[in-house]
Structure 1
Amino acid sequence: MRPRVLFGDHPTLKPTIERLIDHGRFEIAFGSLELPDIASFDLVVPLTIDQIVAARDANADGRRRAVVPDAELVEICDDKLLFCENMLAMGLGALLPELLPDPPNVFPYVRKPRRGEFGDGIRIVRRPEDDHDPSPHSFCQRPVEGAYEYVLHLLRVDGRIRYARCYRYLMADTLSVRGREQPALTIAEAEPGRALKPCADILERLGFEGTCCFNYKWEAGALRILELNPRFGGSLAGDVNAYVAAHLEALA
């Protein structure tokens, strides 16, 4: 019998997953993670932050179908400024681009919304007129130069990394903000190499369990973490069969 996997709904990830999943190996469905027949599924995968609570509740009968971070960690990681502050409190500030006063007295700088995904609301400020009408729910950070940005997808279950996949994005500008407005020129699989251990160590320090993705760059050989997203990242859909297999094995 094929394992049954329930994914949360998502307008862009759903068609990609449906196209790439091995239907001969897995039986999949999409929809509300609060289905009355949730007990018939072997794995429940939220695709957005707001689906995590329902995924957590899918374990209510005592059988573990979903591995997701607790509410406090979702809040810490989903709030980009709060994540930076926690990294600083753990003595890991050297892994981050420096936080700047608001407004900064140097250019260029990055203005980031505390919440958001796919680059929405993030802008590179090169001169004062670029920072018109800043949101009160934003903060400023030193930009990290480099044409390549990396995404490292990780699944951590019972204190162990059970799955890892890294992608490298080539951007048109060394200060580009990858996202809806500035898509990457190319995407390629990459080895996480020296990034894997510090990222895994961060999850260990946080006590993070579940699926996440780190966005980072390399700066003169030093790792600079841009953010940690406590959810299924978009490019993970490209390797969904290996991810689902690793997830099911971790739950077995």
Structure 2
Amino acid sequence: MTRRPRILFGEHSTQRPAIERLVDHDRFDVAFAAFDGADFAPFDLVVPLRLEEFAAARRANADRRRAVLPSPELVALCDDKLLFNRRLIALGFGDAIPALLPDDTDAYPFVRKVRRGDFGAGIRMVRGAGDDAPVPDSFAQVAVAGMDEYVLHLLRVDGAVRYSLCYRYDMGDPLAIRGGAQGARGIHPADPEPARATCLAILDALGFEGTCCFNYKLEADRPMILELNPRFGGSLVGDVTGYVAAHLDAIA
């Protein structure tokens, strides 16, 4: 009998049960563990689900035999939303991000974001003066209106895309902030082409290798990048078998 490839995922309270339910267990032997102190040797692929798991995964993966992971510098850059926006501007992608605003702006509506946070935490739509309040370590940014928000999952290895998956979130409100406080009315497979070239150009300019997901909206068919998450994104769970197969093939 052919041995099934062994996959070690990190721990995540919502993603773990979904991965366990959706992954093809006939093809892959799947396990989950906190990465600190984990024995990575028996596994063919290591998939961190949280940013804090990257350091341990990287130590066990110096030869890239068990995963392709973004550099610590790029993980830190993407984790800081303000620095990420400034880096894109410096690299010539200013027309692909919502404009940064002065902290005391009254250009309503605008978005106030904390520099670090997941799943909409610390992000607030400011529709008028009564909605804003001082928030430590935050910044203001133009609000991009649109009922739909998109996510493009990519795996980039040696400069080539080895996996791609795109979804459209129907938010039901053109100024909605997707996250724990406001979920989508529906999620649908989407065509990545309006944003694909811009997203790939950004990864190329950053020298990004590994798994990531772009969150964006379309403004007159032009992508406006909201975030780049340098990790396995939640909606990638829906095709976790395809992603695992592609990642294994990329490191073979």
Structure 1 gap segments, 5+ residues each = none
Which residue does 1:46 correspond to in 2?
48
- Alignment: residue pair count: 250
Query: What is the Cα deviation at residue 64 of structure 1?
Result: 1.5
Which residue does 1:220 correspond to in 2?
220
Query: What is the Cα deviation at residue 31 of structure 1?
Result: 0.4
Residues 195, 222 of structure 2: 8 Å contact kept:
no
Residues 122, 177 of structure 1: 8 Å contact kept:
yes
Residues 58, 66 of structure 1: 8 Å contact kept:
no
Aligned AA (2:218): W
Report sequence identity in percent.
60
Task: Work out the CA distance in 1 between the residues paired with 2:39 and 2:174.
Answer: 49
Which residue does 2:185 correspond to in 1?
185
Task: Work out the CA distance in 2 between the residues paired with 1:188 and 1:77.
Answer: 26
Deviations 1:145-186 (Å, cap 9, x if unpaired)? 110000000011111110000000001210000111110000
Residues 106, 129 of structure 2: 8 Å contact kept:
no
Structure 1 stretches (4+) deviating beyond 3 angstroms?
Answer: 34-37
Listed as ranges, the matches of 1:9-28 within 5 Å are: 9-28=11-30
Query: What is the Cα deviation at residue 57 of structure 1?
Result: 1.1
Aligned AA (2:115): R
Task: Work out the CA distance in 1 between the residues paired with 2:64 and 2:244.
Answer: 17
Listed as ranges, the matches of 1:68-147 within 5 Å are: 68-132=69-133, 134-147=134-147
Query: What's the TM-score once normalised by structure 2's chain length?
Result: 0.97
Structure 2 gap segments, 5+ residues each = none
Aligned AA (1:82): L
Which residue does 2:32 correspond to in 1?
30
Query: What is the Cα deviation at residue 72 of structure 1?
Result: 0.7
Residue 235, structure 1, aligned to residue 235, structure 2: yes
Residues 7, 44 of structure 2: 8 Å contact kept:
yes
Which residue does 1:7 correspond to in 2?
9
Listed as ranges, the matches of 1:198-213 within 5 Å are: 198-213=198-213
Query: What is the Cα deviation at residue 11 of structure 1?
Result: 0.4
CA RMSD of aligned residues (A): 1.1
Residues 33, 44 of structure 1: 8 Å contact kept:
no
